[in-house]
Amino acid sequence: MPLFGTDGVRGLANGPLTADLALTLAQATAVVLGQGRTAEARKAAGKRLTAVVARDPRISGEFLAAAVSAGLASSGVDVLDAGVLPTPAAAFLIADRDADFGVMVSASHNPAPDNGIKIFARGGVKLPDVVEERIEHALTQPKLQPTGAEVGRISRFADAEDRYVVHLLASLPHALDGLHVVLDCAHGAASGVSPETFRDAGARVTVIGADPDGLNINDGVGSTHLDQLAEHVVRVGADVGIAHDGDADRCLAVDASGRIVDGDQIMAILAVAMKDRGHLTDDTLVATVMSNLGLHRAMEAHGIRVEQTAVGDRYVLERMNEGGFSLGGEQSGHVIMSEYATTGDGLLTGLHLVAEMARQGKTLAELAAVMTVYPQVLVNVKGVDRTRVDDAGVAEAVAAAEAELGDSGRVLLRASGTEQLVRVMVEASDALVAQEIADRLAEVVRERLAL
């Protein structure tokens, strides 16, 4: 099984993800990313390779980040230790300091016992599959072993947070003008920097989920658990609630009445605003096949084209980079604003969302009304042969369902990439219709693709 998943190396900390693996992975990364014309030019000019290392606050991040730093320094790489910061902050700082690469130790929205290692190339960009494969191959190959003055140094990146905050504030089209924002930081990497940044931007801030103890990250809080945030927004009479996940590369929101505003709605709001300001490249939004049909309808009404990709923010990023597009993301709240970031940034997204409220003088509910959310039903059909998802009988059933829905809905079947499971997704203007068709298709899949 490949070591790298869809977002780096992830697993149970001190289970499969050990200090030894972290150290060896860092050494292999130094071998692979320390090559190339830019790296060689640095060496020729007498400059040392440099990497930024950051982590989220889960307890295992302490020994894993230390192991990563040790592996890099033992390979002759100078390490800038940024401490606890969001993943998008690490990506920004790699570019800002012109570092050769960087490593983020985080398992994002996973529970505290898990952890992960995300590697970014020069410029703060995610690695393509071919480079990850080269790093994995290098795990069993000879490592760099400099001695004496050639070994790397590990130093504290003292102004890392300040650089990131200044960058975020400089991106804003409008101050937040006293809007009351409740922030849920998921007891994660944004617990310090997000409240500070929103206050500096002019918001009145109430904070929940910002007391990390290393064990409570994502525990009943954050973007995967929005109930507390919704209740708190209503209780204190706030204008909006913003939720991050553990490493703050996601942003979801709730309006003043506690209603959830998901990633599709956030993208719709930002896309229309960016088009109005002339910042939406080619009037195009990049979204995955799982984005709601209502997003497509809303964008069409505003003269905005939607480019679709496979599920996963890395595929959104790839398409954005290929086409030079400025906005993309996922329903889950990974929103990428390429004018300011190389990856999903929950703080950047939240700030720009609230800034639009202030700029237009509208509530979040009014802004979110740009898009009608179609009822979406997802049925996971387990114990089936996912390799035969294009079966003729299944295709016939899908075609019949699509004909029944017409322009008022859509059908999507997706085979899992890791288990014998097929996901049946149906959208329709009526929730009962969506459920009935999804159940019917799931039964066809169950019968036709039985193992």
Q: How far apart (Å, rounded) are the C-alpha atoms in residues 294 and 428? A: 10
Distance in angstroms between the alpha carbons of the first and the last residue of the chain: 22
Residue among 69, 108, 223, 291 flagged as catalytic: 108
Tokens of 386: 């996912």
Phi, psi of 120 (to 5 degrees): -115, 140
Q: How far apart (Å, rounded) are the C-alpha atoms in residues 43 and 142? A: 20
| 60 in a labelled binding site | no
DSSP H helices in 307-391: 313-323, 346-360, 364-368
| 245 in a labelled binding site | yes
Tokens of 118: 């995300």
| 56 in a labelled binding site | no
> Parallel, antiparallel, or unpaired for β 180-184 and 240-243?
parallel
Q: How far apart (Å, rounded) are the C-alpha atoms in residues 112 and 250? A: 17
60 labelled catalytic: no
Q: How far apart (Å, rounded) are the C-alpha atoms in residues 111 and 215? A: 8
Q: How far apart (Å, rounded) are the C-alpha atoms in residues 68 and 271? A: 38
Beta bridge partners of 306: 285
Residue (of 3, 35, 7, 6) closest to 22 by Cα position: 3
The one-character DSSP state at 253 is E
Q: Which residue has the tokens 């390779």?
A: 49
The one-character DSSP state at 146 is -
| 247 in a labelled binding site | yes
At 430, is the secondary structure helix, strand, or coil? coil
Residue (of 152, 429, 422) closest to 297 by Cα position: 429
Tokens of 395: 């295709």
118, 313 Cβ separation under 8 angstroms: no
CA angle 381–383–384, rounded 5-degree value: 75
CA distance to 106, 282, 426, per residue, from 278 (Å):
35, 9, 34
Residues forming the annotated binding site?
108, 245, 247, 249
Active site positions, annotated = 108
Residues forming the annotated binding site for Mg(2+)?
108, 245, 247, 249
